[in-house]
Amino acid sequence: MQKPSHHGGKNVLIDLTPQPLAFDHQATTPCAEEVIEAMAPYWSDHWGNPSSRQHRLGLKASAAVSLARNQLAACLAITPEQIVFTSGATEANNLALLGRARACGHGHLISVASEHRAVLDPLRQLEREGFSVTLLKPGRDGLITAKQLEEAVTSNTILVSVMAANNEIGVLQPLNALAAICQANSIPFHCDAAQAFGHIPFQPDALGLDLVSLSAHKLYGPKGIGALVIKNEIALTPLQWGGGQEHELRAGTLPTPLVVGFAAAARLALVDLESRAVRLRSLRDQLWAGLKQNLPQIQLNGSLEPRLPHNLNITVPGINGSRLHRALRPHLACSSGSACSRGEPSHVLQAIGHSLRDAEASLRLSLGRTTSERDIDAAIQLITSTIHALNP
């Protein structure tokens, strides 16, 4: 609802519609105030091109990028030279998968059927180019095992790609055990960590990872910036050419404000990572307990542990998913799957054994820094009343 207001002799419309409860923080997060402040000078005062080092403006921007690279590397406990900035985790995934495969020329890749489309779609492209791909099927808990990976490895395997934390059901894959299999067979291990970094302790070298995709906007940073972490000995073919930036692997002028914002968001995330995880896990468990008490028929998707502390994914059997989401939409911001799924039924839920109908009748509820107990209580009441109304 909008109400006209007179301001300075002009009619101004003020939106009085209550804001929906925000339970879709895995799709994206708002930029933290500290991140906005860190980026501010590089939109205007320090507007130089970091590749133009012949004058002060360019040198200022170059120094800012260098500092941000060092700061981000410190957050990951790696060397700055391992970081290649990209436009986001999707580009990083493409560079890792396509770049590795094309550098090898032929071979076999292994991944998981519940991966993000930013991994599955490049793998389909590689199949069109003549590479072979094996997708491991997760259990009902959403997890794969080291034994599954070990049995899938062949003498021709050139890359394994397994995400750290699932973007829909939040489960955490056993990266250390999987990395041990890869290391024993001298196979590079890639990990999409867009949902993990900034929310759980995450250090690529300690986990045995060779390639890692990151995104800033999942951890209260800006959209449009991410990174691929690359161990020095991993050969990749670039996806684009034209300037030699980013170690000859990713041509194009770096967006200095976004790079600075990414580093600021990463540093901020580590400051409250532990306390935030404890608080959000408690709120998440409160949400699950309240919903389960009111709606005994609902099902939890994926293992409750190990799981991201801010994720809850549920299915409401026997209800029409389209009607459910349509009824909730004005009051609750949540999703039935990935933000990149265009509203299609979740392939992740189907991969763990759900029918198409049940996949449609599912809710991904993801909490954030601003989520309060009042929000949890309101969400429980809203979801309960909506489901009772749709299925009396």
Domain that holds residue 349: 21-30+273-390
For residue 244 the two structure tokens come to: 């030699």
Q: Are 243 and 370 part of one and the same domain?
A: no
Q: pLDDT tens digits for 337-368?
A: 544 545 577 999 999 999 999 999 999 999 99
Q: Are 150 and 226 part of one and the same domain?
A: yes
Q: Are 143 and 236 part of one and the same domain?
A: yes
Assigned domain for 191 exists: yes
Assigned domain for 232 exists: yes
Assigned domain for 10 exists: no
Q: Can you tell me the mean pLDDT for 302-328?
A: 96
Report the alpha-carbon distance of residue 141 to residue 152 in Å, rounded.
20
Count of structural domains, the chain:
2
Question: With bands split at pLDDT 50, 70 and 90, how would you rate the model's confidence at 243?
Answer: confident
Report the alpha-carbon distance of residue 21 to residue 338 in Å, rounded.
18
Report the alpha-carbon distance of residue 203 to residue 229 in Å, rounded.
11
Q: Please give, one letter per residue, the 3-state secondary structure of 37-79.
A: HHHHHHCCCCCCCCCCCCCHHHHHHHHHHHHHHHHHHHHHCCC
Q: Coil, helix or strand for 129?
A: coil
Assigned domain for 330 exists: yes
Q: Are 214 and 303 part of one and the same domain?
A: no
Beta bridge partners of 5: 12
Q: Are 158 and 255 part of one and the same domain?
A: yes
Report the alpha-carbon distance of residue 358 to residue 320 in Å, rounded.
9
Q: Are 210 and 304 part of one and the same domain?
A: no
DSSP string, 190-209: EEE-TTTBTTB---HHHHT-
Report the alpha-carbon distance of residue 133 to residue 326 in Å, rounded.
37
Assigned domain for 257 exists: yes
Which of the listed residues 255, 271, 287 is the one where a domain comes to its end? 271
Q: Are 25 and 41 part of one and the same domain?
A: no
Kindly give, in sequence order, each residue whose CB lies less than 8 Å from that of residue 260, ignoring residues fewer than 6 positions away: 38, 39, 42, 64, 65, 68
Report the alpha-carbon distance of residue 87 to residue 175 in Å, rounded.
25
pLDDT score at 339: 46
54 alpha-carbon distance from chain centroid: 37
Report the alpha-carbon distance of residue 144 to residue 175 in Å, rounded.
10
Assigned domain for 12 exists: no
Beta bridge partners of 84: 228
Q: Are 220 and 357 part of one and the same domain?
A: no
Q: Are 61 and 202 part of one and the same domain?
A: yes
Assigned domain for 101 exists: yes
Q: Which CATH number covers residue 353?
A: 3.90.1150.10
Report the alpha-carbon distance of residue 30 to residue 216 in Å, rounded.
11
Q: Which of 182, 191, 334, 340 is flagged as catalytic?
A: 340
75 is catalytic: no
pTM: 0.93
Which of the listed residues 253, 271, 289 is the one where a domain comes to its end? 271
pLDDT score at 9: 55
Q: Where are the beta strands (DSSP E) in 240-387?
A: 299-300, 311-315, 332-333, 362-366
Q: Are 171 and 74 part of one and the same domain?
A: yes
- Tell me which amino acid residue 350 is: Q
Q: pLDDT tens digits for 186-209?
A: 999 999 999 999 999 999 999 999
| pLDDT exceeds cutoff 90 at 4 | no
Question: With bands split at pLDDT 50, 70 and 90, how would you rate the model's confidence at 184?
Answer: very high
Beta bridge partners of 24: 366
